[in-house]
Amino acid sequence: MANQALLENFPELKTPVFVITEADLIRNGKLLKEVREKADCKILWALKCFAMPEAAQTLKPYLDGTCSSGLFEARFGKENFGGETHVYAPAFSDEDMQKIVKLADHIVFNSFSQLRHHRPTLQNSGREIQTGIRINPEYSEVATKIYDPCAPFSRFGVKAEELEKQGIKEISGLHFHTMCEQKSDVLERTLDVVTKKFGKFLRDLDWINMGGGQHITNEDYDRDHLVKLIKQFKTAFDLKTVYLEPGEAVAINAGYLVTTVLDIIENGMPIAILDTSAANHMPDVLEMPYRPYIIGSGQPKEKTYTYRLGALTCLAGDYIGDYSFDKELKVGDRLVFTDMAIYSFVKTCMFNGIGLPSLAYQKTNGETKLIREFTYEDYASRLGAKL
Residue 22's pLDDT band, with cuts at 50, 70 and 90, is: very high
Residue 2's pLDDT band, with cuts at 50, 70 and 90, is: very low
Opening angle at CA 232, ends 226 and 236, nearest 5: 150
Check whether 216 has a pLDDT greater than 90: yes
Same fold, 4-19+255-340+348-382 and 40-251: no
Q: What confidence tens digit (pLDDT) does each residue in 40-68 have? A: 999 999 999 999 999 999 999 999 999 99
Residue 366's pLDDT band, with cuts at 50, 70 and 90, is: confident
Residue among 14, 31, 25 nearest 364 (CA): 25
Check whether 6 has a pLDDT greater than 80: no
What 3-state DSSP class applies to 372? strand
pLDDT at residue 1, as a whole number? 41
Instruction: Tell me the C-alpha distance between 303 and 181, whole Å.
Output: 29
- Asked if residues 29 and 60 have their Cβ atoms less than 8 Å apart, the reply is no
**Per the CATH hierarchy, to which homologous superfamily does domain 40-251 belong?**
Alanine racemase (3.20.20.10)
Amino acid symbol at 240: K
Share of the chain above pLDDT 70, in %: 97
Q: What confidence tens digit (pLDDT) does each residue in 152-190 have? A: 999 999 999 999 999 999 999 999 999 999 999 999 999
Residue 20's pLDDT band, with cuts at 50, 70 and 90, is: very high
Check whether 150 has a pLDDT greater than 90: yes
Residue 202's pLDDT band, with cuts at 50, 70 and 90, is: very high
CATH assignment of 4-19+255-340+348-382? 2.40.37.10
Every domain of the chain and the residues it spans: 4-19+255-340+348-382, 40-251
Q: Provide the Cα torsion 65, 71, 72, 75; round to 10°.
A: 40
Check whether 25 has a pLDDT greater than 70: yes
Please provide the average confidence, as pLDDT, over all residues in the chain.
Answer: 95
With a CB cutoff of 8 Å and minimum separation 6, the contacts of 381 are: 387
More confident residue, 386 or 275: 275
Q: What confidence tens digit (pLDDT) does each residue in 244-269 have? A: 999 999 999 999 999 999 999 999 99
pLDDT at residue 9, as a whole number? 55
Q: What confidence tens digit (pLDDT) does each residue in 120-149 have? A: 999 999 999 999 999 999 999 998 888 999
Instruction: Tell me the C-alpha distance between 30 and 59, whole Å.
Output: 9
